[in-house]
Amino acid sequence: DVKVTQSSRYLVKRTGEKVFLECVQDMDHENMFWYRQDPGLGLRLIYFSYDVKMKEKGDIPEGYSVSREKKERFSLILESASTNQTSMYLCASGLGGGQGNQPQHFGDGTRLSIL
């Protein structure tokens, strides 16, 4: 089974801090994704990556950046955390290969609170 591991289940940070959310997958997947999940809004894509050192903006990239130095690891960075970034963050990975019909595999999420 694919395992996607997010480094923290719960995280509390202060406004203005630089925050790192880490995600690791163990199935050699090409694609990795970061979403945020908010009540009434569903899941919204922040950034995704289809290869090492490659990244593309999703629907809501403002205030975030990402890093993918190794294939198995995809980090989400909040450059200067703000209270409106309090949310549940979900990482996912996908097989890739241009099929477009493969499912994504999700981690358990990080519930981030910015005070």
Q: Which residue number, 107 or 112, has a Cβ lying nearer to other proteins? A: 107
Residues that bind other proteins (CB under 8 A): 4, 31, 33, 40-43, 45, 48, 50, 58, 90, 92, 94-109
Token pair belonging to 45: 């894509």
For other proteins, give the closer residue by CB, 92 or 114: 92
Cβ closer to other proteins: 62 or 100? 100
Shortest separation between residue 57's beta carbon and other proteins, angstroms? 11
Determine the 3-state secondary structure of 84 from DSSP. helix
DSSP of 3-48:
-EEES-SEEEE-TT--EEE-EEESS--SEEEEEEEETTTEEEEEEE
Q: Smallest distance, Å, CB 16 to other proteins?
A: 29
Min dist CB 107 to other proteins, Å, is: 5
Q: Checking phi first, is residue 46 left (phi over 0); if not, alpha (psi -120 to 50) or beta?
A: alpha
